[in-house]
Structure 1
Amino acid sequence: MSKKYFGTDGIRGLVGQSPITPEFALKLGWAAGKVFASNGNKKVLIGKDTRISGYMLETALESGLIAAGVDVGLLGPMPTPAISYLTQTFRADAGIVISASHNPYYDNGIKFFSAEGTKLPDELEHEIEAMLDQEMVCVESEKLGKAFRINDAAGRYIEFCKSRFMQDSLKGMKIVVDSANGATYHIAPNVLRELGADVISIFAEPNGLNINDHCGATHTDALRKAVIQHDADVGVALDGDGDRLIMVDEKGMEVDGDELVFIIARHALKKGELKGGVVGTLMSNLGLEIALKNLSIPFKRAKVGDRYVMQLLKENNWSIGGESSGHVINLDHIPTGDGIVSAVQVLAAIVDTGMSLSELKSGMQKLPQELINVRVPKHKFPLEVDEVKLAIQAGEVELGDEGRVLIRKSGTEPLIRVMTEGKDAKLIKQVAQKIAEKVKAYAE
């Protein structure tokens, strides 16, 4: 059964339009509350990022949950992974995050966590969607839920993040932290300061409208300049809700999710702590696969999306995985992707080995990639055309064992993404153009 509202990463949308309206949030809170209460669960935590719409949606969700007879703990602005951790810490029955991650301020979203700090199972999401079709009826007055504010949430999460650093301290290290004017603005700089680092904090003054605005993990130009300007050892860039991490080395060069996964996995291997192999996605650079193979570390690819990386990790009983975009997962530390915890693990590798970040990432050589997006009308299906299939096959033969071809539909836009990858930059560009032209010809 398909879901009407829930996507692979909760519910997303433009604020004020379906489904992210105050009316919908009220009904969603009630529907979720009814489902949780029917299973004997009566305590839910709510956190949010720094978008201007967060307070409005928080109040609506809170009212709906209370109307269903569920108690609500309000955490205030907190990173998404913090909600996962705090839901377990406070033994709540579920956690809710109001955030649209790396998107602009005018978007928002709603994501649920289970009592174990993981994403809700599909069955519960189906139950909530079914309840959304029912008429909203408030419980009797004596059965209404209660709201309470958790004032020490930030401090608890800071201590948790610090506990993931398995070295003595970061004393003597200078770090620039870009919090994207988002949910980590009062968390990430303090974690690293309390571990002993000299921290220069940028983009840590949220005003409700500047979240992810030319800053953070999706826009690292300012961080790269700041690292050079301050002669820093490393730069840390998080996105608006703190589950995505991109770093910058001492030379001002970006270190992406594939390279971070490699550094963390290799360090775990050297310490004898690596469980099995590593999970990437279809978009992970071939250089990651090759570098891990050279270390005899198994590697598997999941569909794009941290939900699918998580599924494959659990199926194989592995711990480490991630995406090029900076979603890095280590289930030995927390049951979801966590940008701050991932940064702490990389910093631990720097301290433990005495190597710089540029030296650590040099063990993996990224291969050139070419990506072409072809716009396709909804009623056209060019990937099913024989001529297109033959063009893809010809490209795969042309690249041989030194490259790969990946063709996929976008999950959010009417696009076919044509990606080629290999050692020869000129060749992969030619192959991508040939396939894209054929896709375009049958999409018109």
Structure 2
Amino acid sequence: MGNPGQFFGTDGIRGRFGEEPVTAETAYRLGRVLADTTGNSNARICVGQDTRESSEVLARYFARGVRDGNCQVERLGVLSTPGVAYHTKHSDVSFGVAITASHNPYEYNGFKVFSKHGTKLDRVAENRLERRLLTSRYKPEDFKNLHAIDSTSDAIEGTYFKFLRDRAARLGELSLSAVVDCAHGATTEIAPQVLGVLIPQLQVIGNQPNGRNINLGCGSTAIEALRQAVLATKADIGIAFDGDGDRALFVDALGQVVNGDQVLYLLASFYQAELGQQSGVVGTVMSNLGLSDALQVLDIPFARTDVGDRQVANELDRRGWQLGGEPSGHVIWKREGHIGDGVLLAICVLEVMKSSTMPLHDLVAPVRMAPQVQCDVAVENASVLFAQPSVSHAIAEVSELIGCQGRLLVRPSGTEPVLRVMVEHRSQAKAEELVRIAVDRLATAMKSS
């Protein structure tokens, strides 16, 4: 089946359903291996899923694997990734698994594995688990009884829903109007229930999942639908989640998108005294120059790390800071929780709007975003080609063209066979021109490798 490192990417295991490593057989084997890892026949493992049509199949095979490994399985049904993590941390389970491909189309799926502490596995644990997956020969002997696997628990009324409900209750009812886009995903039920208590004038879109429409023209990866709804209803704010609910983007009353960088500034500036003089903000290599500039004005330290919420979390731990995130809207605020949570982030943004009595547009106005233009270059073995001298030379050439007015970022995707190319520049036109040059030179360099 291959070598260690082929399954786990930037954020768990992910790929097209029906192709390794996202198959029913792998789901079964993952359940068996995790059950073996507990070494306890009384151990419990929980599993939640998003709304893709393949998620139920994978959940049943995973559950069967856990049961065949002599452990108990708790099926949480459709529940966001942060919901699975929270339930894992606050329940007597050894592992939690979220079956999801996050913001990807329905054709994709995957597995995010959490320790009993509700944290994603570190690289050492992932590598150990992958080696066992690669060497195991577990296969389900009887596929006929999959429908008899443990019934789904009513997790939406459980610990996670209570946590969100109680957190929202601290705000009281808000005199705001809002539109929420659930991306036809895992927040479809829980987000309207929680946010609807805060905002009586709440309109919900993207809340009719059919198994194939998750993230399709909606949610945080296709925010135009939300933007139009905000403008049409003259709402004060729009909130967009992705398919598994671990991130959120926003739209202000003017129809302008507010991304994760701007939300980081909003939280850091409003809660600056609480964060402490020695605390800063962690972003990634994708974070906009406008964020670092705005934080510098407030004397708030800023540090960059590699892409991925685990990288952000690790850097926060290393520095002893509380707040970090990515432009995608995946924000970790340790005061509130230990992983990204879109619904919780929405509550925090609404709290700032209420406490400041300021509209969202004004709260993020100090962040003057530098234009970023991104393009993907499809290529097999992106990581290998990325390390070639000809590619490094091409990157250096384009970086010299950009100079001090911006920057070039080229990195292999952790989830897809592409090189991600991004040019950030003070001029939009120049950024568009330079990204075309970068893509052309990289393509030429890769052909010669």
- Worse-matched range after superposition: 431-440 or 16-25: 431-440
Instruction: Find the counterpart in structure 2 of residue 62 from structure 1.
Output: 63
- Structure 1 contact 170–192 (Cα < 8 Å) conserved: no
2:409 is aligned, of 377, 387, 406, to 406
- Worse-matched range after superposition: 191-200 or 379-388: 379-388
CA distance in 2, matches of 1:15, 1:323: 27
The TM-score, its normalising length taken from structure 1, stands at 0.90
Query: Tell me, what secondary structure is at the counterpart of 1:53?
Result: helix
User: Cα gap change, 1:424/1:6 in structure 2, threshold over 3 Å: closer, same or farther?
Assistant: closer
- Worse-matched range after superposition: 97-106 or 348-357: 97-106
CA distance in 1, matches of 2:152, 2:364: 42
User: Cα gap change, 1:2/1:256 in structure 2, threshold over 3 Å: closer, same or farther?
Assistant: same
1:111 matched to 2:112? The reply is: yes
Q: Which amino acid aligns with 1:323?
A: E
User: Cα gap change, 1:390/1:5 in structure 2, threshold over 3 Å: closer, same or farther?
Assistant: closer
Q: Using the TM superposition, give the Cα deviation of residue 30 of structure 1 relative to its aligned residue in structure 2, in angstroms.
A: 0.5
Instruction: Find the counterpart in structure 2 of residue 234 from structure 1.
Output: 237
Query: Tell me, what secondary structure is at the counterpart of 1:443?
Result: helix
1:252 matched to 2:255? The reply is: yes
Q: Using the TM superposition, give the Cα deviation of residue 252 of structure 1 relative to its aligned residue in structure 2, in angstroms.
A: 1.4
CA distance in 2, matches of 1:431, 1:380: 21
Instruction: Find the counterpart in structure 1 of residue 300 from structure 2.
Output: 297
Q: Which amino acid aligns with 1:90?
A: S
1:180 matched to 2:183? The reply is: yes
Cα deviations by residue, 1:307-348 (Å, 9 ceiling, x for unpaired): 211111111111111111111111221111100111111110
Instruction: Find the counterpart in structure 2 of residue 83 from structure 1.
Output: 84
Q: Using the TM superposition, give the Cα deviation of residue 266 of structure 1 relative to its aligned residue in structure 2, in angstroms.
A: 1.4
Q: Using the TM superposition, give the Cα deviation of residue 420 of structure 1 relative to its aligned residue in structure 2, in angstroms.
A: 2.6
User: Cα gap change, 1:435/1:205 in structure 2, threshold over 3 Å: closer, same or farther?
Assistant: closer
- Structure 2 contact 186–244 (Cα < 8 Å) conserved: yes
User: Cα gap change, 1:73/1:224 in structure 2, threshold over 3 Å: closer, same or farther?
Assistant: same
C-alpha RMSD of matched pairs (Å): 2.6
What is the number of residues matched between the two proteins? 434
Residues 15-164 of structure 1 aligned to structure 2 (within 5 Å): 15-37=17-39, 42-132=43-133, 133-136=135-138, 147=150, 149-164=152-167
Q: Which amino acid aligns with 1:391?
A: E
1:11 is aligned, of 6, 10, 13, to 13
Q: Using the TM superposition, give the Cα deviation of residue 221 of structure 1 relative to its aligned residue in structure 2, in angstroms.
A: 1.2
Q: Which amino acid aligns with 1:248?
A: V
Flag structure 1 segments of 5+ consecutive residues without an equivalent. 139-145
Query: Tell me, what secondary structure is at the counterpart of 1:258?
Result: helix
Q: Using the TM superposition, give the Cα deviation of residue 414 of structure 1 relative to its aligned residue in structure 2, in angstroms.
A: 5.0
- Structure 1 contact 167–351 (Cα < 8 Å) conserved: no
- Structure 2 contact 412–420 (Cα < 8 Å) conserved: yes
User: Cα gap change, 1:217/1:160 in structure 2, threshold over 3 Å: closer, same or farther?
Assistant: same
CA distance in 2, matches of 1:377, 1:105: 22
CA distance in 2, matches of 1:221, 1:389: 33
User: Cα gap change, 1:391/1:271 in structure 2, threshold over 3 Å: closer, same or farther?
Assistant: same
The TM-score, its normalising length taken from structure 2, stands at 0.89
- Structure 1 contact 10–111 (Cα < 8 Å) conserved: yes
Q: Which amino acid aligns with 2:126?
A: E
CA distance in 1, matches of 2:206, 2:244: 14
Query: Tell me, what secondary structure is at the counterpart of 1:120?
Result: coil
User: Cα gap change, 1:377/1:147 in structure 2, threshold over 3 Å: closer, same or farther?
Assistant: closer
1:220 matched to 2:223? The reply is: yes
CA distance in 2, matches of 1:212, 1:367: 27
CA distance in 2, matches of 1:7, 1:382: 18
1:168 is aligned, of 167, 171, 189, to 171
User: Cα gap change, 1:418/1:178 in structure 2, threshold over 3 Å: closer, same or farther?
Assistant: closer
- Structure 2 contact 283–324 (Cα < 8 Å) conserved: yes
Cα deviations by residue, 1:32-63 (Å, 9 ceiling, x for unpaired): 1101226x871111111111112111111111
CA distance in 1, matches of 2:23, 2:387: 36
User: Cα gap change, 1:409/1:335 in structure 2, threshold over 3 Å: closer, same or farther?
Assistant: same
Identical-pair percentage: 37
Q: Using the TM superposition, give the Cα deviation of residue 369 of structure 1 relative to its aligned residue in structure 2, in angstroms.
A: 2.0
Query: Tell me, what secondary structure is at the counterpart of 1:164?
Result: helix
Q: Which amino acid aligns with 2:412?
A: K
User: Cα gap change, 1:188/1:220 in structure 2, threshold over 3 Å: closer, same or farther?
Assistant: same
CA distance in 1, matches of 2:169, 2:272: 15
Cα deviations by residue, 1:196-237 (Å, 9 ceiling, x for unpaired): 442111111112121111111111111111112222111110
User: Cα gap change, 1:109/1:297 in structure 2, threshold over 3 Å: closer, same or farther?
Assistant: same
CA distance in 2, matches of 1:7, 1:320: 24
2:397 is aligned, of 391, 405, 408, to 391
Q: Using the TM superposition, give the Cα deviation of residue 135 of structure 1 relative to its aligned residue in structure 2, in angstroms.
A: 3.6
CA distance in 2, matches of 1:274, 1:76: 43
User: Cα gap change, 1:253/1:390 in structure 2, threshold over 3 Å: closer, same or farther?
Assistant: closer
Cα deviations by residue, 1:174-211 (Å, 9 ceiling, x for unpaired): 11111011110111111111224421111111121211
CA distance in 2, matches of 1:275, 1:54: 44
Query: Tell me, what secondary structure is at the counterpart of 1:420?
Result: strand
User: Cα gap change, 1:44/1:275 in structure 2, threshold over 3 Å: closer, same or farther?
Assistant: farther
User: Cα gap change, 1:431/1:11 in structure 2, threshold over 3 Å: closer, same or farther?
Assistant: closer
User: Cα gap change, 1:365/1:162 in structure 2, threshold over 3 Å: closer, same or farther?
Assistant: farther
2:362 is aligned, of 359, 364, 375, to 359
